[in-house]
Amino acid sequence: MIKKYLFVFILLTAHFGILAQDLQMLKVQDFDLRGKVKSCLVITDYGKELFEFDEDGFLIRTITQYNETDQDITLYKYEEGHLVEKRMESYKDNILDAATSMVNFYTRDSLQPGKLFERIVSYDKEFLEQQEYLFDEEERLVKIITSNAEGVDECTVEYVPYKNELTTSYFGNGVLEKSIRTSEKKMATGSQRIVLTKEFIDGEPNKATEEVFNANGKLDSKEFFHFNAVQKKFESERKLIYTYDTESMLEKVTTRTSNSESVKEYIHQFDSNPDKNWIKQIITPDNTYSTRRITYFPEAEVGEEGEPN
C-alpha cells in the first residue's frame, strides 16, 4: 500500500541520496533551463506541456495538453520558502473531473520539527490519504507512516555508511523494497559519483540500475540489470553511454547490449538569449523532435548608482 513511496523519494532526494527535512521544490534548472525563465512551452509530436515559474525560479504551474478538450493542470503554492499546497486538476471535455482531481496539503509542526505531514483530499472532498514523514537529528528521512481507507502502513529508511559509500535502504512494513548505494571515485578528470539502485519484490532481488555521474554532475552512463534467480546474481541487460559537447549539451547516447550497439544523436537549435537555452531538439535516426517556446522575465533596470530601479 505504500504506493506513494517512490513519489516521496523523488521529491525528497538530495544530491547524494540523503533525504532532507523538506520537500525539494522544483526550479528552472530542473527542466534544463537557464536564466530568468517565466514560461516554457514544450511541443512534441505527441503533445504539449507548459511550465510556468515565479521570479525566484520556482515552478508554480504545469499544463499537460492531451488534445483540444483534455488537460491536466498542476498548481504549486509556497509560503516562507516552503511548499504548502499542490493542486492537480484533471479536465475532460473541458470539464473539471472532481473525482480524479486532488489537492495535497503540507504542514509542519513548529513544536515537532522532525515531522512533516501531507494530507491528500479529492476535489469532491473525499479524504484519500495522509503521509507522516519523520526525520532524525541529521534531518534525514527515517520513517513514512501512510494512513488511508485500507489501513496504516509504515516505510522505514536505514542509512549505513562504509568508507566513501552510503547505502540507503527502504523497508515497507519490514520488507526490503529498495536499496541505494552512493559512492565516490577519484579520477584524473575529477571525482565520479556512482549510484547503484536495487529493487526488490517481497524482499527478493528483482532489478537494478547503476548510474555514473562525472565531475560536472552530468550522467556519463546508466546500466540496467535483471536478477538471474538461477545464478543468484544481477546480469546486465543494456548500458547507455552519454556524450556531451564543449558546452555540456548532450550530443549522443550509445546503447550497448551483449550483441548489439545503437546510437542516437541529438541536434540542438538555441535562442538568442544570453543564457542560451535550446528551442529545438532533433533526435536521429528516429527524427523525433521537441520544440520549446521560452519567455523570460524582463531584466531589472540599473540606475546611476548601480542599483536596480
Kindly report, residue by residue over 224-274, the tens digit of the pLDDT.
999 999 999 999 999 999 999 988 899 999 999 999 999 999 999 999 999
Give 292's contacts (C-beta < 8 A, 6+ positions apart). 40, 41, 42, 43, 277, 278, 279, 280, 281
Q: Among candidates 258, 308, 251, which has minimal Cα distance to 282? A: 251
Render pLDDT for 114-147 as a digit per residue (tens, 0 to 9): 889 999 999 999 999 999 999 888 888 999 999 9
Phi, psi of 136 (to 5 degrees): -90, -175
Phi, psi of 68 (to 5 degrees): -70, -20
Give 240's contacts (C-beta < 8 A, 6+ positions apart). 221, 222, 223, 253, 254, 255
pLDDT value of position 13: 38
Render pLDDT for 154-163 as a digit per residue (tens, 0 to 9): 999 999 999 8
Per-residue b or e along 254-288, where b marks 16 or more CB atoms closer than 10 Å to that residue's CB = eebeeeeeeeeebebeebeeeeebbbebebeeeee
Question: Does the pLDDT at position 2 exceed 50?
Answer: no
Give the three cell numbers for residue 146: 501512510
- Residue 47's pLDDT band (boundaries 50, 70, 90)? confident
pTM of the model: 0.81
Question: Does the pLDDT at position 111 exceed 50?
Answer: yes
pLDDT value of position 45: 78
* Total length of the chain: 309
Which has the higher per-residue pLDDT, 18 or 212?
212
Which has the higher per-residue pLDDT, 21 or 100?
100
The amino acid present at 70, given as its one-letter code, is D
